[in-house]
Structure 1
Amino acid sequence: MNLISLILNILWIITGGIWMAVAWLFAAVIMAITIIGLPWARSALNIASYTLMPFGRSAVSRDEWDGREDLGTSPLGFLGNLIWFVLAGWWLALGHVLTAVALALTIVGIPFAWAHLKLAIISLWPIGKRIVSNEEVEERARADYRVPGTL
């Protein structure tokens, strides 16, 4: 993580990132307690980590990243996301949107509001996502643009 990402993540935690990460952890605990909610708990923990420190990382679709479909990106993953949306996704998204609105009232808070809006979208449909560093995304993009047989 570079210095700018570190500074932004510290400011993020101070300006509301911590309480939304706790909300994600709460959702994960509730899902884990039910036992049948363990697949959702795993996704919620994954996104809780991202919510705690979003700068310098990105959420990508696992099937696009890995180049293959898995359980979370299959029709069962779609069904899982639908259930997630009803049980927890909408209220987590609402928390992110309300925090974004409050942060957007100040000029300094606008970048953090934008990050909360991105997280609100992920809140609605988290299963099948992977959190990767921006360096990995850039490296993958460079590798995709290389022509075989050239440097």
Structure 2
Amino acid sequence: MRTLLNIIWVVFGGIWLALGYFLAGILACLLIVTIPAGIASFRMARYVLWPFGRSVEPKPGAGAGSAIMNVVWFLIAGWWLALAHVATALAQTLTIVGIANAYVSLKMIPVTCFPFGKRIVDNGTIF
């Protein structure tokens, strides 16, 4: 079931969101200071491309460095990627099949805005 949901997700918006994260990662890697943001963006691009069966959890031991990088990330790319998630969710709600995808897209916004101090883990649940 997860595979079917992931395929529907990719077709109806996941590929474009993942490309946005990939572009943000490339831009962030241009400066030495923002390379950690670029690495986080590539990690999130994988999550956004195939989200069903994965979840986001707080990373134990994340400290002040994560908070500082979250601010840098939000200013560089977090806000416009969050807007992309909202626009994608609005487009996905036009079909009945897309409503579940819209929910997942909106659920990703907190990690989109503040990815540091979190980790993406595989789990056995659908949502």
Is TM-score (shorter-chain normalized) higher than 0.5? yes
Tell me whether 1:79 sits opposite 2:68 in the alignment: yes
**What TM-score do you get using the length of structure 1 for normalisation?**
0.79
Distance 1:80 1:24 in 2: 16
Q: 1:100 aligns with which of 64, 89, 92?
A: 89
Deviation (angstroms), 1:47: 0.7
| Greater alpha carbon shift after TM alignment, 9-18 vs 103-112 | 103-112
Between Structure 1 and Structure 2, the one with more helix by share is 1
Letter in 1 for 2:23: F
> Helix, strand or coil for the counterpart of 2:33?
coil
Q: Which residue of 2 aligns with 1:34?
A: 31
Classify the secondary structure of the residue corresponding to 1:59.
strand
Match of 2:101 in 1: 112
Q: Secondary structure at the match of 2:32?
A: coil
Give unmatched runs, 5+ long, in structure 1: 64-68, 138-151
Rg (Cα) greater in structure: 1
* Partner residue of 1:88 out of 77, 80, 94: 77
Where relative contact order (Cα < 8 A, 6+ residues apart) is larger, the structure is: 2
2:42 to 41, 45, 49: 45
Q: Is structure 2 residue 53 aligned with structure 1 residue 56?
A: yes
2:19 counterpart letter in structure 1: V
| 1:88-134 deviation digits (Å, cap 9, x = unpaired) | 10000000011001111221110000011011221110112211111
User: What is the root-mean-square deviation of aligned Cα atoms in Å?
Assistant: 1.2
Partner of 1:16: 13
TM-score w.r.t. the length of structure 2 is: 0.94
Unaligned runs of 5+ in 2: none
Aligned mates of 1:105, 1:6 — CA distance in 2: 22
Runs ≥4 residues deviating over 3 A: none
Distance 2:26 2:51 in 1: 21
Return the letter of the residue paired with 2:96.
I
The share of aligned pairs that are identical, in percent, is 41
